[in-house]
Amino acid sequence: MSDLIQPKVLKGFRDFLPAAEIQRDVLQEKITQVYRSFGFVPIDTPVLEYTEILLRKSNGETEKQVFRFQDNGGRDVAMRFDLTVPFARFTAEHFSELYLPFKRYHIAKVWRGEKPQAGRYREFVQCDVDTVGSDSAAADFEILNVMKCALNAIDVSNITIHVNHRGIFNRFLNKLGVLDKSEDILRSVDKLAKVGQEVVVKELVEFTGDESKASEILKYISASGSFLEILSTLETMAGGPGEDTQRMKDIYAMMEAAGIESTYVLDPSITRGLDYYTGVIYETFLNDLPSIGSVCSGGRYDNLAGLYMKEKVPGVGMSIGLDRLIAGLEQLGKSEKKGSFLQVEIFCQNAAHMMAYQKVAAGLRAKGISVEVFPEPKKMNQQYNVTEAKNVPWGVLINDEDVKNNTLSLKKLETREMFNSLTIDEAVAIINK
């Protein structure tokens, strides 16, 4: 009997070959640059947290999805299911070391034991930014702005960001006399796009015990018109002006001032299932593929850090679901993959010239060109095949005459155009051009 173990990965988990991992790295680098340009700084937190830390402020659905177990010391631990709750713990634990407002970004893997499907996996990357220590419309707007800028930086511009405010909805529910059922109602409304209106209405009747109240809730979440028209409708249904509706007016005024208001819509059906959100909330959809769901979401969570400390620290943030976004781009045929970061391959035609190859490679790297030397004199068609698999655009050939003259021949591999007897500086100029 064979002792070999069958190589396989768990359901909902994946290996990434170079082309896929390069794509993810490039996107993360571009997103990181945008986050930094807004003044956000990086932190990191452990993969494992005490279960009571992660689940103290969550609903039953979240508890079903976490990977939870006892470690060797008998401690009840779980793998983080998002980066926001660990950040709340981080804020409480390091509060005396932080300046406020504190703006952090965190790009890392999280784990959820949900059913795998298109664009949804059990292990995936989130790209988060959060601001704590400021309860202002400016902080809310900045997160909404950085969402748009980060997605635009990775050539995702045909998007619509749906915005809502939990506070207005809660005032409305209080007016209806069903605020005590808000968590159930929020989670039901949050499923509207997935399960349909009929199922949601049935659940709302069950939660409120009143068909007319269920009908009013449906009317509220179905309000239509321009951003300000919908806001006016919600304001009336919630009982009049309040801090929450003024906050939305201020945010929209900043959108107009920045000239980006066309990207955002006020959508009262957006509630966000997690119950730690307290104010403005948002979800982002690809206009060409809305069926894949939100690729970027978040909101204000003023009470979350208060679970771990006495001081109330306001917070607002968002997260880009990188893997779901990539899945959407692949479906739209907008996903670009390459096999390496190389610009140049120096072909090995003669092992005796290896020192010359390495000298040229060092010279090119000194000029900022990414380059490798093929390590052995295999047949040229084999070397070309490997280079093509890596998507390397340029090849360098060095013959006996080049070795004598400290020159090289540059070949554009896609068109086979040749540039002979070049110095390193001349080759760099052609590559960069």
Q: Using one digit for the tens of pLDDT, what is the confidence trace for 80-89?
A: 999 988 999 9
What's the pLDDT at 57? 60
Tokens of 330: 């692949």
pLDDT at position 199 over 90: no
Cα–Cα distance between 140 and 156 in angstroms, integer?
A: 22
Q: How many CB atoms lie within 10 A of CB 147?
A: 24
pLDDT range class, residue 215, cuts 50, 70, 90: confident
Pairing of β 159-165 and β 264-266? parallel
Bridge-based pairing state of the strands 102-111 and 41-42: parallel
* Cα 336 from Cα 296, distance rounded (Å): 20
Query: Distance between CA atoms of 373 and 357, rounded to whole angstroms?
Result: 7
In the block, tokens 């989130």 appear at: 126
Which of 32-46, 53-67, 186-200, 316-330 is modeled with the greatest confidence? Answer: 32-46
pTM of the model: 0.89
Give SS3 for 14: coil
- Between these two residues, 180 and 162, which has the higher pLDDT value? 162
**What six digits make up the tokens of 150?**
């980060």
The CA distance from 381 to 392, in Å, is 15
Q: What is the pLDDT of residue 274?
A: 62
pLDDT digits (tens, 9 = 90+) for 223-276: 999 999 999 999 999 999 999 999 999 999 999 999 999 999 999 988 876 667
Summarize pLDDT for 12-31 with one digit per residue, the tens: 899 999 999 999 999 999 99
Q: How far apart are CA 193 and CA 293, in angstroms?
A: 9
- 3-class DSSP state for residue 396? strand
Judged against a pLDDT cut of 80, whether residue 44 lies above it is answered with: yes
Residue 1 scores a pLDDT above 60: no
| Residue 325 contacts residue 156 (beta carbons within 8 Å) | yes
Structure confidence by residue, pLDDT tens digits, 279-323: 999 999 999 998 888 899 999 988 778 888 888 899 999 999 998
pLDDT of residue 198: 80
Q: In the chain, how many H helices and how many E strands?
A: 17, 16
Average pLDDT, the chain: 92
Long-range contact list for 58-65, CB < 8 A, 24+ apart? 58/85, 58/274, 58/275, 58/276, 59/183, 59/187, 59/273, 59/274, 59/275, 61/187, 61/273, 62/274, 64/113, 65/112, 65/113, 65/114
> For position 104, what pLDDT does the model report?
98
- Residues near 388 by beta carbon (within 8 Å), at least 6 away in sequence: 413
SS3 per residue for 188-251: HHHCHHHHCHHHHHHHHHHHHCCHHHHHHHHHHHCCCCCHHHHHHHHHHHHCCCCHHHHHHHHH
The pLDDT value recorded for residue 61 is 66
> Quick one: pLDDT band at residue 59, thresholds 50, 70, 90?
low
Angle subtended at Cα 129 by Cα 264 and Cα 325, rounded to the nearest 5 degrees: 60
pLDDT score recorded for residue 98:
94
What confidence category does residue 119 fall into, taking pLDDT thresholds of 50, 70 and 90?
A: low
Looking at per-residue pLDDT, the higher value among 194 and 39 belongs to 39
Please report which confidence band the pLDDT of residue 369 belongs to, taking 50, 70 and 90 as the band edges.
very high
Q: pLDDT tier at 60 (50, 70, 90 boundaries)?
A: low
